[in-house]
Chains A and B, each alone.
Chain A
Amino acid sequence: MADLRTVFAGIKSPNPFWLASAPPTDKEYNVRRAFQAGWGGVVWKTLGEDPPVVNLSSRYGALGFEGRRLIGLNNIELISDRPLATNIAEIKRVKREFPDRALIVSLMVPCEEDKWKAILPIVEETGADGIELNFGCPHGMSERNMGAAVGQVPEYVEMVTRWCKQNTRMPVIVKLTPNVTNILMPARAARAGGADAVSLINTIQSVIGVDLDAMAPMPVVGGKGTHGGYCGPAVKPIALRMIGEIARDPIMAGIPISGIGGISNWRDSAEFLAMGSGSLQVCTAAMHYGFRIVEDMIDGLSNWMDQKGYERLEDLTGRAVSQFVPWNQLNMKFKTLANIDQDACVGCGLCYIACEDTSHQAISKKNTSDRRHYEVIEEECVGCNLCAHVCPVDDCITMVPQPVDGELTWPHHPSNPNCIPA
């Protein structure tokens, strides 16, 4: 069995699966159930100053697609709406009872050094393993100059991170907002401020949908709606990109990254690890199916690592990063061609119409009385993969890489006006 034990910025957990700071980690009852279910760690739902914030009724909006629920989830909930003392007492109890699990406390107080100085010792006293600075919440809190309002200004990120580092011995994880044009700016600022790690992505500003009867964005609260924070399986590609950019950035080199964003199963987990994550945070999948989903995440990841010969998580973390390159570094001589397995083909014609209408007219159609026959016209195929993606049958259409004669990248390509001579 692969060893899933994780050491992340000095924080130990029996596996890399942590519950992200969110409703599932709001209180002792939930966290206890999560640990009993096998989660390696939790990031406690963000604590703020007293008096606690007030949350609204109706908090989530969901995106479904062709019958599947919750491919995306948006929320307008704020940070913990319970008194600080209540949370602190519970955190202390849970940590004492589950000493082997990672317990990180998410924090958000106004951008004043005194406020941060005040809360840090209170948290430290609980025995928590670390803190995560919530610089990401994109709704409600950002309008009060917290959350994403801090995360979007690199100078603030650096400043607050530094305050925390100067005032606690706990490892400091900075949670980054994706609502920026260049994720490296706040990431580098966090490192400059002394962050022990970064975690990302927080939720994305979104309007999940419009209630066409109420004529208001969802979720509708008393006839009106507001933007929320978007998460769930649909945001995974955005998260992978941002994690990869940080992982390959020379300035960020070596910083632990806690990957967040739509992780729903072991395969997603492996992908996040490969792109540079050292631990994984999950929320929507648990909110959809309950804490038990971690069982297959642990089991599946472990089985796959065994198959691939990865003994420890460190063997896997960042494995794909050096292959994540700017477009400019891709080999323009590489060519791949679609191939249709005629035995597996069910004759739905989706590949044909996708290619015919929207791509390169590279699939021919011959209908006989009892069979539809589609074939790739290799001279026309640009290897775009669209047919393989629309085919409803697994492995019916495969992309077959062709022999490559050397390497040619755009900077050296003769068509490039700024071609660098060989």
Chain B
Amino acid sequence: MRLDIACGRLPETALELNFADAHPGLSPEQAALEADRCFYCYDAPCVEACPTDIDIPRFIKAIASDNLAGASRTILQSNILGGSCARVCPTEILCEQKCVHTEIEAHHAVRIGALQRFATDWQMQQKTHPFQRAASTGKRVAVVGAGPAGLACAHRLAMHGHDVTIFDRHDAPGGLNQYGVAAYKLADNFAQREIEFLMEIGGIAFQGNATLGENITLAGLRETYDGVFLGLGLAGVRALGLESEFAEGVLDAVDFIETLRSRNLSEVVVGRRVVVIGGGNTAVDAAVQAKRLGAEEVTLVYRRGAEHMSATEVEREWAQTNGVTVRFWASPSQLNVEDGAIRSITFIRGTPDGRYDPQNAFTLAADMVLKAIGQIFVPDPVRNDQILVENGRIVVNETGRTSMPGVYAGGDCTAGEDLTVAAVRDGRNAAEALHDELMASNMERANHNG
């Protein structure tokens, strides 16, 4: 029997529907009703829960008063990627979890994410960019990595009048927004549209197919530029550590998603029976998208319990309502391969006390196994630069500065929550710190010359 992996399992119309916006935006009426629910808390807990400190009550009040320019500006001045964050943020563990409405009734938070999307969508339909670039400082900054951290950093630097070049190994900018998030979360080419919007500030150039440690080096960038920001993300994936891990049909979930995001959906192959291993958002995104591509059976297997998953409850339920079978307390023990291709995968069952019993095993037939057990930072590109790396991440101080003068870093390649919104905060804060540094050096020079 041949391995059952194929593309075009569903007609194009079905694929289009399956990968359309999973949660379409609010209508003006819906937004007005929802905005009026907000109590306009003082010292609001939701703001504290937002890594980018968006003044949530203020922007919601602005929506309620039909001041959409003010609402979107309030969001975007804290978080220039407020549009994609509105779509991908796990608000249920951030702002909405802290909404005081949940104290009155669980799960009845004001829909902050949906309102944020409403306001930012409005802004993106306007012809004007809400921010103005300051007079050119003549300073040049290199940003490595065109993901959320790098983009946020670049925008803030450009706004302050610096000239920024963003380098990225891909040919298009966007990072995880473009290549790593489920398509239906950022439908209608949103990642690229948002980048176009962001670039309207001016002073930002993008250079694709530029890989740090290959065709560009940190040393080289430091020579050419006045400052560097590293938003490298996590280039590596964890391995299962099992035999035959590279058999046909065994893929990294991130590669599967990247392929899906880069090609026509009808050209993306998927197995008939897919097993996804992992408990995070990548695992959920891979499982649901496999299902929506037309896989018959998709099973997500996690080695621990529901409460340990890094994917939120909302994400897990999303997988389940999409027909993904979720199994807990099972650890993969063997990839069963025939003729170089995966046939099935064997798991051993575990118990909440953390013991896995090799005698208690089960096997799932699989045409495709997607590994989503975690991504890791690969320090190789900066290894020769003696930049301090600890616990597998680049070390930065509270402003995002690395151990190397003039070099900042943020996003997933540094410690902290691996969230888009946290990456945006890192990029923005590093930009502010780098700006201060560049301006201080200007002052010094001016003083020196004077």
Contacts from A to B (Cβ < 8 Å): 66-67, 346-350, 352-353, 365, 367, 372, 392-393
User: How far, in angstroms, from A67 to B65 measured CA to CA in the complex?
Assistant: 10
Shortest 10 CB-CB contacts between residues of A and residues of B: A67-B36, A349-B42, A353-B42, A346-B103, A346-B100, A348-B41, A349-B43, A348-B100, A348-B39, A392-B39
Residue on B nearest A365 in the bound complex, by CB: B43
8 Å CB contacts to A: which residues of B20-62? 32-33, 36, 39-45
User: How far, in angstroms, from A392 to B36 measured CA to CA in the complex?
Assistant: 13
Instruction: Assess whether B36 is in contact with A372, with CB atoms less than 8 Å apart.
Output: no
User: How far, in angstroms, from A365 to B43 measured CA to CA in the complex?
Assistant: 10
User: How far, in angstroms, from A347 to B45 measured CA to CA in the complex?
Assistant: 8
7 contacting pairs across A/B (C-beta < 8 A): A66-B64, A67-B32, A347-B41, A347-B100, A348-B100, A349-B42, A393-B104
**A367 / chain B contacts, CB cutoff of 8 Å:** 43
User: How far, in angstroms, from A267 to B41 measured CA to CA in the complex?
Assistant: 29
Contact of B42 among A66, A346, A348, A393 (CB under 8 A): A348
CB distance from A198 to the nearest CB of B (A): 39
Given A348-B42, A350-B39, CB of A67 within 8 Å of CB of B104:
no
CB distance from A16 to the nearest CB of B (A): 34
Per-residue A-contact encoding for B77-110, CB less than 8 Å = 1, 0 else: 0000000000000000000000011011000000
**B103 / chain A contacts, CB cutoff of 8 Å:** 346-347
8 Å CB contacts to A: which residues of B93-142? 100-101, 103-104
Instruction: Assess whether B32 is in contact with A372, with CB atoms less than 8 Å apart.
Output: no
- In addition to A347-B45, A348-B41, 11 A-B residue pairs with Cβ atoms within 8 Å of each other are A67-B36, A346-B100, A346-B104, A347-B100, A348-B39, A349-B44, A350-B41, A350-B42, A352-B42, A372-B43, A393-B104
8 Å CB contacts to A: which residues of B243-257? none
User: How far, in angstroms, from A350 to B39 measured CA to CA in the complex?
Assistant: 8
User: How far, in angstroms, from A365 to B36 measured CA to CA in the complex?
Assistant: 26
Given A66-B36, A392-B39, CB of A372 within 8 Å of CB of B104:
no
User: How far, in angstroms, from A346 to B98 measured CA to CA in the complex?
Assistant: 10
User: How far, in angstroms, from A67 to B34 measured CA to CA in the complex?
Assistant: 9
User: How far, in angstroms, from A24 to B106 measured CA to CA in the complex?
Assistant: 43
**B32 / chain A contacts, CB cutoff of 8 Å:** 67
**A392 / chain B contacts, CB cutoff of 8 Å:** 39
Given A66-B64, A67-B64, CB of A350 within 8 Å of CB of B40:
yes
Contact of A349 among B41, B64, B101 (CB under 8 A): B41
Residue on B nearest A357 in the bound complex, by CB: B42
**B44 / chain A contacts, CB cutoff of 8 Å:** 348-349
CB distance from A86 to the nearest CB of B (A): 41
**A352 / chain B contacts, CB cutoff of 8 Å:** 42-43
User: How far, in angstroms, from A349 to B40 measured CA to CA in the complex?
Assistant: 9
**B41 / chain A contacts, CB cutoff of 8 Å:** 347-350
CB distance from B359 to the nearest CB of A (A): 43
Residue on A nearest B37 in the bound complex, by CB: A67
User: How far, in angstroms, from A353 to B103 measured CA to CA in the complex?
Assistant: 20
User: How far, in angstroms, from A367 to B45 measured CA to CA in the complex?
Assistant: 10
* Most chain B CB atoms below 10 A, which of A346, A350, A352: A346
**B33 / chain A contacts, CB cutoff of 8 Å:** 67
Residue on B nearest A345 in the bound complex, by CB: B103
User: How far, in angstroms, from A369 to B33 measured CA to CA in the complex?
Assistant: 31
Instruction: Assess whether B45 is in contact with A372, with CB atoms less than 8 Å apart.
Output: yes
CB distance from B68 to the nearest CB of A (A): 16
CB distance from B347 to the nearest CB of A (A): 37
User: How far, in angstroms, from A348 to B100 measured CA to CA in the complex?
Assistant: 6
Residue on B nearest A66 in the bound complex, by CB: B36
Residue on A nearest B61 in the bound complex, by CB: A66
Residue on A nearest B34 in the bound complex, by CB: A67
**A346 / chain B contacts, CB cutoff of 8 Å:** 100-101, 103-104
User: How far, in angstroms, from A143 to B101 measured CA to CA in the complex?
Assistant: 51
User: How far, in angstroms, from A229 to B42 measured CA to CA in the complex?
Assistant: 37
User: How far, in angstroms, from A346 to B33 measured CA to CA in the complex?
Assistant: 21
**B42 / chain A contacts, CB cutoff of 8 Å:** 348-350, 352-353
CB distance from A67 to the nearest CB of B (A): 3
**A350 / chain B contacts, CB cutoff of 8 Å:** 39-42
User: How far, in angstroms, from A294 to B337 measured CA to CA in the complex?
Assistant: 76
CB distance from B35 to the nearest CB of A (A): 8
CB distance from B240 to the nearest CB of A (A): 37
* Most chain B CB atoms below 10 A, which of A352, A367, A372, A393: A372
* Most chain B CB atoms below 10 A, which of A348, A350, A372: A348
CB distance from B288 to the nearest CB of A (A): 32
**A353 / chain B contacts, CB cutoff of 8 Å:** 42-43
**A66 / chain B contacts, CB cutoff of 8 Å:** 36, 64
CB distance from B257 to the nearest CB of A (A): 35
User: How far, in angstroms, from A347 to B46 measured CA to CA in the complex?
Assistant: 11
**B101 / chain A contacts, CB cutoff of 8 Å:** 346
Residue on B nearest A68 in the bound complex, by CB: B36
**A393 / chain B contacts, CB cutoff of 8 Å:** 104
CB distance from A95 to the nearest CB of B (A): 44
CB distance from A237 to the nearest CB of B (A): 23
**B43 / chain A contacts, CB cutoff of 8 Å:** 349, 352-353, 365, 367, 372
User: How far, in angstroms, from A393 to B105 measured CA to CA in the complex?
Assistant: 12
CB distance from A371 to the nearest CB of B (A): 9
Residue on B nearest A393 in the bound complex, by CB: B104
* Most chain B CB atoms below 10 A, which of A349, A352, A392: A349
User: How far, in angstroms, from A393 to B104 measured CA to CA in the complex?
Assistant: 8
User: How far, in angstroms, from A212 to B405 measured CA to CA in the complex?
Assistant: 56
CB distance from A252 to the nearest CB of B (A): 43
User: How far, in angstroms, from A350 to B100 measured CA to CA in the complex?
Assistant: 12
User: How far, in angstroms, from A347 to B102 measured CA to CA in the complex?
Assistant: 11
Residue on B nearest A348 in the bound complex, by CB: B41
**A349 / chain B contacts, CB cutoff of 8 Å:** 41-44
CB distance from B11 to the nearest CB of A (A): 43
CB distance from A359 to the nearest CB of B (A): 14
User: How far, in angstroms, from A372 to B101 measured CA to CA in the complex?
Assistant: 14
**B40 / chain A contacts, CB cutoff of 8 Å:** 350
CB distance from B115 to the nearest CB of A (A): 14
User: How far, in angstroms, from A372 to B33 measured CA to CA in the complex?
Assistant: 27
Residue on A nearest B101 in the bound complex, by CB: A346
User: How far, in angstroms, from A353 to B41 measured CA to CA in the complex?
Assistant: 9
CB distance from B142 to the nearest CB of A (A): 38
